[in-house]
Amino acid sequence: MRWLDVDATIDHMNKTPAADNPFADADSAEGRRAPPPCAVVLFGASGDLTRRKLVPAIYNLLRDGHLPGGFAIVGFARRDWSDDQFRAELLDGVREHARSFSEDDGLWERLAGATFYHRASFDDAGGFESLGKRLAGLDDDLGTGGNRLFYLATAPEYFAPIVGRLGAAGLVQRPSAAAGPRGEPWTRVIVEKPFGHDVESARELNCAFLDVLDESQIYRIDHYLGKETVQNILAFRFSNGIFEPLWNQKYIDHVQITVSEDLGVGSRGPYYESSGALRDMMQNHILQLLSLVAMEPPVSLDADAIRDEKVKVLRSMRPLRGEAVLRSSVRGQYVAGSILGEPVPGYREEERVDPASVTATYVALRVSIDSWRWAGVPFYLRHGKRLPKKATEIAIQFRVPPMRLFGSATARSVQPNVLILNIQPDEGISLRFGSKVPGPDIRVRPVKMDFRYGHSFGVASPDAYERLLLDAITGDSTLFTRRDEVEHAWRFIDEIDRAWRDAGADGLRFYEAGTWGPQEADDLLEGDDVWRRL
Ligand code: BG6
């Protein structure tokens, strides 16, 4: 055994090429499979997501050497575009949104040469049959090997019809149990959110998908799971020996999860009117963060082992019903105010929003998890649009020491330890603890121990969509939500939604844009707990 020079080790990891890096070897031994050839078919190809997220992510994957040799993109939409018009649209998006872009390295030309536009309507069977012919042609011309990844980036009402038409046109096959060692061509479907708008509709959608596909072929996306810092929750909890023993009701006082946005609803008024903060962010992203923080250690890193544990958390959340909803939740809506000194309109003045809307743009919940580990530990969850800044963090607040040794004079300055997982934008982890202030008196002040991604690893984190697309291509569904996960999450949210609807405008609070939400949210917190200032 010898002393370890930590700084030198990290420095060495950062500077050593992957091939010579012993740490990289350890990773790659259990690493990802090489991406197989495939064609990615984008339904909703003329939409914003394709332009802003999906194709820039594919371009980044190509830049980083993660795309297979045989690869093609086929955009499927109704707009009257040629291949070249489609490529020109995508190029604008890539220029604007890819992590880095160069006009001169020929990468875009390579991708554009494998990108095609298929003009058709989602309800026209002929369009799916001709898609099949086109894909078969690409197998011959570009070596896509018969593998297909269908990406549903359309309005949700088209999800089931598209999958039905794919089935009818013979474009999806269930995996056969008798696949040989080299496998057989696969088909997978990624589906965007929202997956249903309540438990009933989610169930119906699941049934419509499962009529045609096997669960293992369905990749329900939640882009928060693709964020590097969200994936790190598991690594942080289960690859370190020091935190997990404290990760329970004996040592943790409460947990706060905040997802705050400074943006308003922009041009998404009609969508947001039907979803509101509860469905738009709480049912999916925030409950996903909660299940990663609260889950038990999985038996392995297999997709199902992890998802089994996440589902247990969702199942053990104490349902909020009727009166309990009103006691344990606060909903708000922004009125005109200012963000960074700029005046912004109220929600009811936004484009295509009902001027008398009671849609919540802010939600705060106090929830309990009835499990051995979490009995008695409140989880406070909040999300709002038009808050002062964009920030997502998970704060684990520990119990104070059992005895205040430092006497009453300093008692106020002894603050509980808080572990903060900064998801975005300032990605990292920090721990707050008390330290003696230098000098003759015993005074204790909180200080911070900080880890920052940018500083320690020196590279920008890939976009969530890069990771998720690559996982779907390689057939890893760990970071996608399973059928039962989605349905349990809806079951919890539906009760809250029902109680809010029954209460109508009563109980909707207003907050000025650029503030931290309605005052009433403070009353949700128990005892001396306060919302963290971000
Ligand atoms: C989406 C929501 O799922 O997530 C948006 O529909 C929200 O309303 C967005 O703005 C936030 O994502 P991110 O990655 O910017 O935090």
Ligand 1 pocket by C-beta < 6 Å: which residues?
193, 223, 261, 280
Atom of ligand 1 nearest to the CA of 464: 14
Residue nearest (by alpha carbon) to ligand 1 atom 2: 280
Judged by phi (left if over 0) then psi (alpha if -120 to 50, else beta), residue 236 lies in alpha
Cα-based torsion angle of the residue sequence 129, 132, 134, 137 in order, rounded to the nearest 10 degrees: -140
Catalytic residue among 66, 118, 197, 285: 285
Residue 82 CA, ligand 1 centroid: distance in Å: 31
Residue nearest (by alpha carbon) to ligand 1 atom 14: 224
pLDDT tens track, the chain, 534 positions: 555 554 544 444 444 333 333 323 333 334 567 899 999 999 999 999 999 999 999 999 999 999 999 999 999 999 999 999 999 999 999 999 999 999 899 999 999 999 999 999 999 999 999 999 999 999 999 999 999 999 999 999 999 999 999 999 999 989 986 665 567 899 999 999 999 999 999 999 999 999 999 999 999 999 999 999 999 999 999 999 999 999 999 999 999 999 999 999 999 999 999 999 999 999 999 999 999 999 999 999 999 999 999 999 999 999 999 999 999 999 999 999 999 999 999 999 999 999 999 999 999 999 999 999 999 999 999 999 999 999 999 999 999 988 877 766 555 557 899 999 999 998 999 999 999 999 998 888 899 999 999 889 888 889 999 999 999 999 999 999 999 999 999 999 999 999 999 999 999 999 999 999 999 999 999 988 899 999
- pLDDT confidence of residue 292: 98
Most ligand 1 atoms within 8 A of CB, residue of 97, 280, 389 to mutate = 280
CB 451 within 8 A of CB 227: no
Q: SS3 string of 75-135?
A: EEECCCCCHHHHHHHHHHHHHHHCCCCCCCCCHHHHHHHCEEEEECCCCCHHHHHHHHHHH
CB 21 within 8 A of CB 132: no
Residue 492 CA, ligand 1 centroid: distance in Å: 21
Is there a catalytic annotation at residue 455? no
Residue nearest (by alpha carbon) to ligand 1 atom 8: 280
Most ligand 1 atoms within 8 A of CB, residue of 52, 261, 423, 467 to mutate = 261
Q: How far is CA 290 from CA 18, 93, 208, 277, 283, in A?
A: 34, 33, 29, 16, 11
Atom of ligand 1 nearest to the CA of 424: 16
DSSP state of 400: P
- pLDDT confidence of residue 17: 39
Residue 149's contacts (CB-CB under 8 Å, 6 or more residues apart) are 38, 39, 40, 41, 187, 188, 189, 190, 469, 472, 473
Residue 503 CA, ligand 1 centroid: distance in Å: 27
What gap in Å lies between CA 252 and CA 262, rounded to an integer? 30
Atom of ligand 1 nearest to the CA of 390: 16
Atom of ligand 1 nearest to the CA of 259: 16
- pLDDT confidence of residue 411: 55
Q: Which of 429, 339, 343 is nearest to 390 (CA)?
A: 339
Residue nearest (by alpha carbon) to ligand 1 atom 9: 281
- pLDDT confidence of residue 164: 97
Strand pairing class (379-384; 252-260):
parallel
- pLDDT confidence of residue 405: 78
Total residues found in the chain within this entry: 534
Q: What are phi and psi of 331, to 5 degrees?
A: -125, 145
Encoded amino acid at 191, one letter: V
Q: Is 360 helix (H, G, I), strand (E, B) or coil?
A: coil
- DSSP code per residue over 323-347: HHHHHHEEEEEEESEEETTEEE--G
